[in-house]
Amino acid sequence: MKLLLVFALLASTIYGARVVEVSKEYQKSQKCKACHLKIVKEWEESWHAKSHYDKDEYFSKSIEYVARKSRKSPNSVKVQCATCHNPRIAVTTTGLDYEIKVLMELDKNSKVNEAIESSAINEGINCVVCHNIDKIHHDRDDTFRGMDRVSWTESGLMVGPFDDATSPYHKTEYRKFMDKESDKLCFVCHANDRSVNGLVFVDMQKEYKKQDKACVDCHMGEKTSGVASTLKTDNGQAKKREVRGHTFRGSHTQDMWINALNLDMWQEKDELIIALKNPQPHNIPSGFGSRELIVEIAYMRHNKVVDTKSISLTRYYTRRKDKPTIPHLAEEMSEDVSIPANGEKILKVKKAADASSVEVKVYYRLVNDEVHSILDLREAIWSKKFFINSKSLELK
């Protein structure tokens, strides 16, 4: 049996094409601080900086879960996820040859392990991911995401939103997707999330309804006067620019949620009608599939709570034999209960018989209870409720 495995090992050649190698002087964000200190410090606080598997509990535990349930090695799953999480990885696919090596404990010095353990990728989505993209191939099939949807510049060529930028440390070129068409850059990864079984559980690109703002207006903030580089290239001074923040605020940021949904309510006979209106250009909840809106209702009489209700708006996922699972392993999913971009959702709730008033509060969670339990998440961020809006109403 072992001879057969060895034969298969030697016969199989399934390593994917290598991405463009990044020279050591450009691999780490620390090298960029000399000229871009403020931008790098902002990035260090972002979730882009946490996209590597050992810096995000949800991600790392999802890898372990997928590997266990699909009977693949954890490193194979890491390579698969690297398409978006670590797109400068040196090995882009694995196959039977690597799985055999793992079974025979011969994987220690393999190309896959070297790529996974390389310090060159442990910053996840860092400077040389976005700023090394040469072209975005939107004509490719929807199954292409992340590194499979782009081609890279040569090492040492940085692209950006300014056509007059220069640097003595690297080449610089302008790209439209860094400026007027920035949504295209976001949707390289934030597009269609699909399970290993091909089920598309979130497609932010299709649900997106562009208004007068682009993705970056909310998630990087409005442009403000500042400098992109401290190099004194403008008559002995750093060149003044209109720049955006690089914290990449998102659903993990409380101030993003305040009034993100509009809340209205009224009474119709013995029912409370709750209207949730979404002025945002994408659905809520959206993102990686197991996110949740919570509507908490407190009925009161003489300022004392007499009854409470809680409504969860989330999606549930199953694999074979209807077993609950996480989105990335799902074969089927429940009905979409998200509030569409620029749309609304109406909830009807039976009024508590002896209540004279009601207070409704709306919250958001990154992970619903089912997935939270499946992955055994321990960090507080995954159970935190982000406040969105509240309203009170006198009842008849």
- pLDDT for 5: 41
Q: 235 with 263, same domain?
A: no
Domain final residue pick, 223, 243, 263: 243
Element holding 58 (H helix, E strand): helix 57-70
The C-alpha angle with vertex 394 and arms to 393 and 396, in degrees rounded to 5, equals 130
Q: 202 with 289, same domain?
A: no
Q: Which residue in the block uniquely carries the two structure tokens 């009024």?
A: 351
Q: 361 with 278, same domain?
A: yes
pLDDT tens figures, 189-205: 998 899 999 999 999 99
In a domain, 104, yes or no: yes
- Of the candidates 185, 256, 245, the one whose C-alpha atom is nearest the C-alpha of residue 220 is 245
- Of the candidates 201, 2, 179, the one whose C-alpha atom is nearest the C-alpha of residue 101 is 2
Q: 274 with 371, same domain?
A: yes
- In contact, 66 and 77? CB cutoff 8 Å: yes
Domain final residue pick, 243, 272, 293: 243
Domain final residue pick, 187, 213, 243: 243
Residue 371, domain CATH: 2.60.40.10
Q: 236 with 275, same domain?
A: no
As for how many domains the chain has, the answer is 2
In a domain, 73, yes or no: yes
Buried b (16+ CB within 10 A) or exposed e, 280-314: bbbbbbbbbbbbbbbbebbbbeeeeeebeeeeebb
In a domain, 237, yes or no: yes
- pLDDT for 138: 87
Domain that residue 173 falls in: 2-243
In a domain, 130, yes or no: yes
- pLDDT for 4: 39
pLDDT under 50: residue ranges of the chain: 1-18
Q: 108 with 158, same domain?
A: yes
DSSP for 141-204? -TT--GGGGEEEPPTTEEEES-TT---SSSEEEE-GGGTTTHHHHHTTTSSEEE-TTS-EEEEH
- pLDDT for 10: 39
Q: 10 with 75, same domain?
A: yes
pTM flag (> 0.85):
yes
In a domain, 249, yes or no: no
- pLDDT for 394: 96
Q: 234 with 314, same domain?
A: no
- pLDDT for 19: 58
Q: 324 with 207, same domain?
A: no
Q: 21 with 128, same domain?
A: yes
The 10 Å Cβ neighbour count of residue 371 is: 28
Q: In angstroms, rounded to a whole number, what is the distance separating the alpha carbons of residues 211 and 45?
A: 28
- pLDDT for 287: 87
In a domain, 125, yes or no: yes
- pLDDT for 139: 87
**Token pair in block for residue 318:** 């199953």
In a domain, 10, yes or no: yes
Q: In angstroms, rounded to a whole number, what is the distance separating the alpha carbons of residues 110 and 165?
A: 41
Q: 73 with 214, same domain?
A: yes
Q: 144 with 172, same domain?
A: yes
Estimate to the nearest angstrom the gap between the alpha carbon of 178 and the chain centroid: 19
- pLDDT for 15: 40
